[in-house]
Amino acid sequence: MTIIVTGGAGFIGSNFVFHMLNTYPDYRIVCLDKLTYAGNLSTLAPVMDNPKFRFVKADICDREAVNTLFEEEKPDMVVNFAAESHVDRSIEDPEIFLKTNILGTATLMDACRKYGIKRYHQVSTDEVYGDLPLDRPDLFFTEDTPIHTSSPYSSSKAGADLLVLAYHRTYGLPVSISRCSNNYGPYHFPEKLIPLMIANALNNKLLPVYGEGINVRDWLYVEDHCKAIDLIIHKGRVGEVYNVGGHNEMKNIDIVRLICKELGKSEELITFVKDRKGHDMRYAIDPTKIHNELGWLPETCFADGIKKTITWYLENRAWWENIINGEYQNYYERMYKDR
């Protein structure tokens, strides 16, 4: 089995690469990544010399590069993590999100149609559903929840999802989609909430929290997400959407306070900043479908997962410090200049 993993130098994609190589030693995993600001090739250093792994630097919007890779590898599956994913950046510059997240998805699926594929899997987000009110804890996102996006980012992901389902209906492309709640864990890019708070706290810097910090997110440890995608691409039904959630709802401010406590830092570092435009209030996933059909359940409770995550950042300071100072962007040149 050969699987192309796009965006595999990013947070969730790299964890998925590690999971697949560890779980299926006979599989060939090919990582295609443009190495934008959020792609970090040094993350993949532990597997770069694995004979079952190949890294290719390319843009999923580059039709010629994508077709060349498909011609060379003749993949059985494609798992698409490649995306512009930071909401704040999408508010500042929507165009790149539309290009990468929608047109890039179309380019990949056209290659899948041309060269044949057993499964194309689109990694999406619960943000396509919009948000839920804080005063209705009984409400959850299901696969039948209407799409109701709030940001250019979530709109671009919703557009890609609809395109994926259209390719299935129109061309018979064997597809699946997963919509996951917020992930956390190792290799999380340090502009996101949890790694940003850990890094800032360790450096005794202010901890910026949007608004009053009352926004609620459903947190899932990244390894549990990878296991869910593994199940979907092997056993999930073609043409289906699967919600993946952790039933670990937490207010942002409570997470920041927990990080302060775990690191022995004063909550006086917390500073409230102007809220994000169109900020969603609450996300909450109902994962009943994937549990009933595929037997998936999250294995890591938040109390354990956040401790594991903090420990990882403590033990891997060089990884995130290189990102903060920009040094990680030179890693690709160092890795490949003599090859």
Buried b (16+ CB within 10 A) or exposed e, 118-134: ebbbbbbbbbbbbbbee
Q: Determine which one of 84, 126, 161, 230 is catalytic.
A: 126
> Is 336 an active-site residue?
no
Total residue length of the chain:
339
Kindly tell me the burial class for residue 271, based on how many C-beta atoms sit within 10 Å of its own C-beta (0-12, 13-18, 19 or more).
exposed
Report whether 157 contacts 128 (CB < 8 A): yes
Report the C-alpha gap between 143 and 237 in whole angstroms. 14
Distance CA 75, CA 59 (A): 17
Q: Catalytic one among 120, 129, 153, 332?
A: 153
Q: Which strand (E) or helix (H) includes residue 207?
A: strand 207-210
In angstroms, rounded to a whole number, what is the distance separating the alpha carbons of residues 250 and 220? 11
Query: Could you confirm whether 218 is annotated as catalytic?
Result: no
Q: How far apart are CA 96 and CA 94, in angstroms?
A: 6
Q: 80: part of which helix (H) or strand (E)? A: strand 77-80
Cα separation, 30 vs 32, in Å, equals: 7
Name the active-site residue from 33, 59, 84, 127. 127
Whole-angstrom CA distances from 215 to 90, 138, 158, 192, 229 are 19, 16, 22, 15, 27
Whether residue 126 lies in the annotated active site: yes
Tokens of 216: 């609620």
Residues noted as catalytic: 126-127, 153
